[in-house]
Structure 1
């Protein structure tokens, strides 16, 4: 199935908690959310890295800690997770799944239902659709353990009982927003692709109000 980003999606003011706000995609999400008039809270480990996030309520702490999460979630309408983790060729990765498990519990405790979580091409049934270099070299040598944890993360979200959308971008780039985004669940014949972080942010924020992809995991590409 294919759709295009709707830049005219419901943009009524919403209180959004952003996780991973100091990353490349997270910063685009924060910038666009503020431009849409939303109130943004960012849960960050390092306040120094978030010093330039103007107009944002900052909560400092570990995303895996229940007390910190509940403080950040209080009064929020939705959560956008742009959590990432570095390539880890040798060590097992657990941060994404442990943080997501804690997040789901805290969201239920604070009665926040909407979760839009970014994972990536290579998660779940999108594995094997990243193109030759990604599938045969980058994934097995650098990202296998990261994506094992992304798979665990997705399973936690799917079983959460929340109003969730999983978003799987293709290879990210820092180009300007292109405008049209293809969102796919039928990946027959699809291999490769890339998308700008700005376009990912636009699509993700559209899902805060839209039910078009509710309880599904679209792959998005430019």
Structure 2
């Protein structure tokens, strides 16, 4: 389904990946509250047992066959996939899953993809502030962000109607604050944003076109 058709949908049918993570849970909760038709693809359905109002499909996000089953008939896909800090071991989950997702979306003719990566990916690297850029990133997140960069490259080369969202440092504070969307990062050196506000922004992109085939860093 095209972005134009999605834009016209009163209650979009969405698939959420990474739904049991802390940000994914906010996305699912808000989507259900909005009246969206929500499907989740999760490896451990028991972790999503409390996520009322969503259809749960058991499967691995790296499995294109499972992804095709989950994405069939959807208007859009939200990827909130994440991976723990990995100082020593190579990370491939994000890029591998995204390649499989792109294949599944094309096979099922679903075009709208909204994906969360993070501050530090792509041309947002080096804008996280001293602590993030000089300590956290090189010591804990270098390999994770190498895979986020591969993930972004797969998305940008997909031919889909994509939007990449790069939140600043995530926190669990209540949402409702004004969210800034930045592309010119020349004067930006770190920031934070609540997972709740990230979820709101993500869901607004499902039927929006402002950031179609664009990458936005979002922060308070």
2:69 is aligned to: 71
Structure-to-structure mapping, 1:129-140, within 5 angstroms = 129-140=127-138
- Residues 12, 37 of structure 1: 8 Å contact kept: no
SS in 2 for 1:211: coil
Inter-partner Cα distance in structure 2 for 1:144 and 1:28: 26
The one-character-per-residue Cα deviations of 1:62-97 (angstroms, maximum 9, x if unpaired) are 111111001101110000000000000001000000
Paired residue for 1:42, among 40, 43, 50?
40
| Structure number with higher helix proportion | 2
Paired residue for 2:123, among 125, 132, 135?
125
- Residues 17, 79 of structure 1: 8 Å contact kept: yes
Inter-partner Cα distance in structure 1 for 2:106 and 2:34: 26
Inter-partner Cα distance in structure 2 for 1:84 and 1:66: 18
CA change 1:214–1:103 in 2 (3 A) is: same
Q: Which runs of 5+ in 2 are unaligned?
A: 1-6
Inter-partner Cα distance in structure 2 for 1:79 and 1:207: 11
SS in 1 for 2:114: strand
Inter-partner Cα distance in structure 1 for 2:8 and 2:216: 20
Inter-partner Cα distance in structure 1 for 2:69 and 2:39: 10
- Residues 116, 166 of structure 1: 8 Å contact kept: yes
- Residues 22, 50 of structure 1: 8 Å contact kept: yes
1:197 is aligned to: 195
Task: Give the TM-score of the pair, scaled to structure 1.
Answer: 0.95
Task: Give the TM-score of the pair, scaled to structure 2.
Answer: 0.95
2:181 is aligned to: 183
Inter-partner Cα distance in structure 2 for 1:215 and 1:66: 23
Between Structure 1 and Structure 2, how many residues are aligned?
214
SS in 1 for 2:163: strand
- Residues 11, 36 of structure 1: 8 Å contact kept: no
Question: Which 4+ residue blocks in structure 1 deviate beyond 6 angstroms?
Answer: none
For residue 11 of structure 1, report the CA deviation from its aligned partner.
7.8
Paired residue for 2:205, among 196, 204, 207?
207
Paired residue for 2:96, among 85, 98, 104?
98
1:152 is aligned to: 150
For residue 57 of structure 1, report the CA deviation from its aligned partner.
0.5
Inter-partner Cα distance in structure 1 for 2:186 and 2:55: 42
Mean alpha-carbon deviation: is it higher for 176-185 or for 195-204? 176-185
Mean alpha-carbon deviation: is it higher for 9-18 or for 73-82? 9-18
1:15 is aligned to: 13
1:31 is aligned to: 29
Inter-partner Cα distance in structure 1 for 2:155 and 2:106: 12
RMSD: 1.1
